Structure 1
Amino acid sequence: MEKVDKFIAAMASVAWGLPLLILLIGGGLYLLIRIKFLPFRYLGHALAVLRGKYDNESDAGEITHFQALTTALSATVGMGNIAGVAVAIAIGGPGAVFWMWVSAVIGMSTKFFTATLAILYRGKDSEGKIQGGPMYFITEGLGKKWMPLAIMFSVAGLVGALPVFNVNQLTQAINDILLKPAGMYYGFKTDLVIGLILAVITSIVILGGLGRISKTASKMVPGMVALYFVLVLIILGTHIDVVPKYLGMIFTDAFSANFYKGDAFLGGAIGGIILLGIRRGAFSNEAGIGTAPMAHGAAKTNEPIREGLVAMLGPAIDTLIICTLTALAILVTGVWQSSDANGVSLTASAFEESIPVYGKYGLLVCIAVFSISSLFSYSYYGSKCMSFLFGAKNKGIYNYFYIASIIVGATTSLSMMINLIDTFFALMAIPTMTATILLAPKVIKEAKIYFEKLKREKL
């Protein structure tokens, strides 16, 4: 198993090399500059669209703007925010958070483009149903000769959408917070039982299709974000005297990398911390990876720009707000230096330090809901990839592989799971970002028409 772990780690390291960094961050910056920061000026309008002001039942699609965003967020607001941030700080120190922020701001632009394309170039599956996502905007927008790129995305998506990291960290949280203190942990057997229970819960929801997934997500996610917000505010209130110090360290350490313990990149620790922050940021908000456009592509709208604006809110909520809350909780409590824990266990230590007895249980509730809602959404992404590759009638087969992978995630090491998903996220990002950059002029043209029409309506 150790050899497999090392091999997957080496794969992730190769996949997340300089070319991908240039494609994700350089490509995102290019998109931001090309559109002249235009979507950022319409955040208020994006919120109005999200609230349902422009919903029209007769528009093509399956779900509302709000359901599309919460379905996408139920996948991104999860272990990337709680365990992924902890991993970034454990390896990179406070400075890693700054580079996660950079990834999020650039990611807002990327999400705007990819979600707009998901509506602008919706295709049809083998059953004639309208579908959206990178594989469709590649073939519909660039033409059939680009089919290999669409196939690459879909094949990588079959593995990238597996819930192994989320399940791994939820299992770890249940063991560390609930079972071990009660003397009820029995090693592999306990992990297996947790995996089986999660597999049953997931089966009940995902076999009901997108309608059930989006309704469940739209009910679960907002409440848990609010609870998590309150818990972290209590921690920050308890340590209010050191909050300014650590906020400052996030900025200063980003360019000094004094606490960085990982591998050097581009010849130094600063290169390493930049890569770490961007990698964990991409894992958290998935901007440029291509998963979220599959959910946004199902939104009921005939206005592509509207869905792009709604999608743009995702990285802001996910990384700029929720990841920052987690980071500050870990930093101000000092557990990042006093504890050897990593992943979700490090975050749990921060909550336990500031909110004795109840803090870790509150965190466990948030973790459980975030993780389980992620399990629902990722199954939809994987089945869309399966449908594109092997026909809509076979998409249900993916759910059975997906459910089996839950047991694998529950009983395997953290490093193996995080490196496996990182590798396939990288492979998904290549076709997504390539097609998005090539199709950017179409989005810019569409945006100009939409925003000019919006101005005329206000006059």
Structure 2
Amino acid sequence: MERFASFMWGTPLILLLVGGGLFFLIYSRALPYRHFGHGFAILTGRYDNSNDKGTLSHFQALTTALSGTLGLGNIAGVALAITAGGPGAVFWMWLTAVVGIATKFFTGTAAVMYRGYDSQGALQGGPMYVIREGLGKRWLPLAIFFSFAGLCGTQPVFQINQLVAMLRTSVAYPLQLASEQSHFGFDLIVGVIAALLVLAVISGNLPRVGKVTSRLVPSMVIGYMLMTAGILVTHVSDIPAAFGLIFQDAFTGQAVAGGALGTVIQVGVSRGAFSNEAGIGTESMAHGAARTNEPVREGLVAMTGPVIDTLIVCTCTALVILITGVWQGTEAGGVTLTANAFSSTYGNWGPLLLTVMVIFLSLSTIMTFWYYGSKCLGFLIGAQHQHHYVWAYGLLIIAGSVGSVGVIFNFLIAMYAAMAIPTMISALVLAPRIMQAAKEYFARQEDDG
């Protein structure tokens, strides 16, 4: 499975994501970057209109999209990137975020601009509808391809697996509820409890998920930032060296066995895309549900995602791991490595505090992934059948709690790569229409004063 993931994240896809993002940046003449203030103003609710089409407010659409990226992508994903690609991988994560701002503007705008109706007559957004409505029926195989990859890639198994690993290390072992030799029972119990909690929320469909994520995501992000700030303040003199290590290793690959620079780039771009989902297309399904009749407005909201997710939160995680030195001489990976970084400063309280963050952020991600998967399934077999996915999803949560993270993560990474192909192709083809809509929107904003 690792070879398959490496093949999918080869040079062609890296060029598609990074090169496509650069194209959007240059083609738009950095237009989105000049309107961050307006994007954040939209999140305050001043532009919300209850009479507009859609389900979620702008803020709920962003927090729902962020709940699919913030969390384990930032806590465990960064650790996995440093373990596999060295500190230099963080630089390439940053690069995907910088160009991803432009990508998210285009894909977020398209998600509303080309919404379509499912088989039950409900208005939906996402790359599959963008392709069907914006490109026409002859492009339908590409929409089906995205839906299949999206259904496979948005499984909850990685999130629940890392959550169980965190609970096992910080709770089960200290309290002797499990041991390294015998922890299947504990893992299974956690999986069942998590499944029941998630099912209780997703039974209320997207509106309930939006309400939950709009409360969980901001509070957990603030809490996590305060935790990382405590470590950064106590190690402030080591921060410049950590940045220097990131930049140096980004172009040498010295921290990777054999000095494989290609590995550093591949790992950084793939983990960056997994973290902020720019160009992947999953977040477009959340933004496509925004309650607005102004597509460009939601594009401006969407582009704030990579800034919050990767440039701020992921950077803090990376610095914490690097300045504490826990990444060297250890076989720990994922959330365990991040927990070690926190315990080096906060002692036994570190893993416990991080566990609280992981519990809520991973559960919110799992809830959002259910929405993505069910919409992909609904597109493939009909929306009237997608409600059956709830029960299959619950079983997947339980199965993921006792599975192997290596195989699971590589499979998800491969499916993320597959999703990026139709998402980026459709956005590139529709770029002139999206840009025209943006020019008209900003012209109206200037006229309104």
TM-score normalised over the length of structure 1: 0.96
**Distance (Å, rounded) in 1 between the aligned partners of 2:345 and 2:329:** 14
Structure 1 runs of 4+ with >6 Å offset = none
SS at match of 2:119: coil
Show the counterpart of 1:282: 273
Q: In the alignment, is residue 302 of structure 1 matched against residue 293 of structure 2? A: yes
**Distance (Å, rounded) in 2 between the aligned partners of 1:392 and 1:91:** 40
**Distance (Å, rounded) in 2 between the aligned partners of 1:144 and 1:401:** 30
Show the counterpart of 2:157: 164
Q: In the alignment, is residue 119 of structure 1 matched against residue 112 of structure 2? A: yes
**1:334 CA displacement:** 0.6
Q: In the alignment, is residue 136 of structure 1 matched against residue 129 of structure 2? A: yes
Which moves more between the two structures, 302-311 or 10-19?
A: 10-19
Q: In the alignment, is residue 71 of structure 1 matched against residue 64 of structure 2? A: yes
Letter of the structure 2 residue corresponding to residue 171 of structure 1: V
**Distance (Å, rounded) in 2 between the aligned partners of 1:351 and 1:94:** 18
Show the counterpart of 2:207: 211
Letter of the structure 2 residue corresponding to residue 352 of structure 1: S
Q: In the alignment, is residue 368 of structure 1 matched against residue 364 of structure 2? A: no
**Distance (Å, rounded) in 1 between the aligned partners of 2:311 and 2:15:** 22
Q: Deviations for 1:173-196, whole angstroms, at most 9, x for unmatched residues?
A: 000111112221132222111111
Q: Which structure 2 residues correspond to residues 256-275 of structure 1 after superposition, within 5 A?
A: 256-261=252-257, 269-275=260-266
Letter of the structure 1 residue corresponding to residue 388 of structure 2: I
SS at match of 1:335: coil
Q: In the alignment, is residue 357 of structure 1 matched against residue 348 of structure 2? A: yes
Q: Which structure 2 residues correspond to residues 36-55 of structure 1 after superposition, within 5 A?
A: 36-55=29-48
SS at match of 2:236: coil
**1:104 CA displacement:** 0.5
**Distance (Å, rounded) in 2 between the aligned partners of 1:109 and 1:409:** 34
Q: Deviations for 1:132-190, whole angstroms, at most 9, x for unmatched residues?
A: 10000101000011000000000111111111111111010000111112221132222
Q: Deviations for 1:52-76, whole angstroms, at most 9, x for unmatched residues?
A: 1111111100110000000000111
**Distance (Å, rounded) in 2 between the aligned partners of 1:15 and 1:21:** 10
Which moves more between the two structures, 18-27 or 131-140?
A: 18-27
**Distance (Å, rounded) in 2 between the aligned partners of 1:346 and 1:269:** 22
**Distance (Å, rounded) in 2 between the aligned partners of 1:241 and 1:431:** 45
Q: Deviations for 1:342-371, whole angstroms, at most 9, x for unmatched residues?
A: 110000000000111222111110111110
Letter of the structure 2 residue corresponding to residue 400 of structure 1: W
**1:223 CA displacement:** 0.5
**Distance (Å, rounded) in 2 between the aligned partners of 1:404 and 1:89:** 32
Q: Percent of aligned positions with the same letter in both sequences?
A: 52
**1:340 CA displacement:** 2.3
**Distance (Å, rounded) in 2 between the aligned partners of 1:403 and 1:285:** 25
Letter of the structure 2 residue corresponding to residue 233 of structure 1: A
User: For structure 1, which runs of at least 5 residues remain unmatched after alignment?
Assistant: 1-7
User: For structure 2, which runs of at least 5 residues remain unmatched after alignment?
Assistant: none
**Distance (Å, rounded) in 1 between the aligned partners of 2:156 and 2:312:** 23
**1:338 CA displacement:** 4.1
SS at match of 1:292: helix
**Distance (Å, rounded) in 2 between the aligned partners of 1:70 and 1:369:** 13
Query: Which of residues 434, 437, 443 is equivalent to 2:434?
Result: 443
Show the counterpart of 2:318: 327
**Distance (Å, rounded) in 2 between the aligned partners of 1:94 and 1:348:** 18
**Distance (Å, rounded) in 2 between the aligned partners of 1:404 and 1:16:** 29
Show the counterpart of 1:62: 55
Q: Which structure 2 residues correspond to residues 386-405 of structure 1 after superposition, within 5 A?
A: 386-405=377-396
Which moves more between the two structures, 182-191 or 380-389?
A: 182-191
Query: Which of residues 225, 240, 245 is equivalent to 1:229?
Result: 225
Which moves more between the two structures, 175-184 or 220-229?
A: 175-184
Letter of the structure 2 residue corresponding to residue 354 of structure 1: T
Letter of the structure 1 residue corresponding to residue 353 of structure 2: G
Letter of the structure 2 residue corresponding to residue 220 of structure 1: L
TM-score normalised over the length of structure 2: 0.98
Query: Which of residues 312, 316, 324 is equivalent to 2:307?
Result: 316
SS at match of 1:242: helix
**Distance (Å, rounded) in 2 between the aligned partners of 1:269 and 1:167:** 32
**1:406 CA displacement:** 0.8
Q: In the alignment, is residue 244 of structure 1 matched against residue 237 of structure 2? A: no
**1:339 CA displacement:** 2.9
**Distance (Å, rounded) in 2 between the aligned partners of 1:325 and 1:22:** 27
**1:390 CA displacement:** 1.2
**Distance (Å, rounded) in 2 between the aligned partners of 1:334 and 1:285:** 25
SS at match of 1:213: helix
**Distance (Å, rounded) in 2 between the aligned partners of 1:232 and 1:166:** 21
Q: In the alignment, is residue 416 of structure 1 matched against residue 412 of structure 2? A: no
Letter of the structure 2 residue corresponding to residue 244 of structure 1: P
**Distance (Å, rounded) in 1 between the aligned partners of 2:116 and 2:84:** 42
Q: In the alignment, is residue 406 of structure 1 matched against residue 392 of structure 2? A: no
**Distance (Å, rounded) in 2 between the aligned partners of 1:402 and 1:108:** 31
**Distance (Å, rounded) in 2 between the aligned partners of 1:132 and 1:151:** 14
Which moves more between the two structures, 252-261 or 140-149?
A: 252-261
Q: In the alignment, is residue 86 of structure 1 matched against residue 79 of structure 2? A: yes
Show the counterpart of 1:190: 186
Calculate the aligned-residue CA RMSD, in Å.
1.1
Which moves more between the two structures, 12-21 or 342-351?
A: 12-21
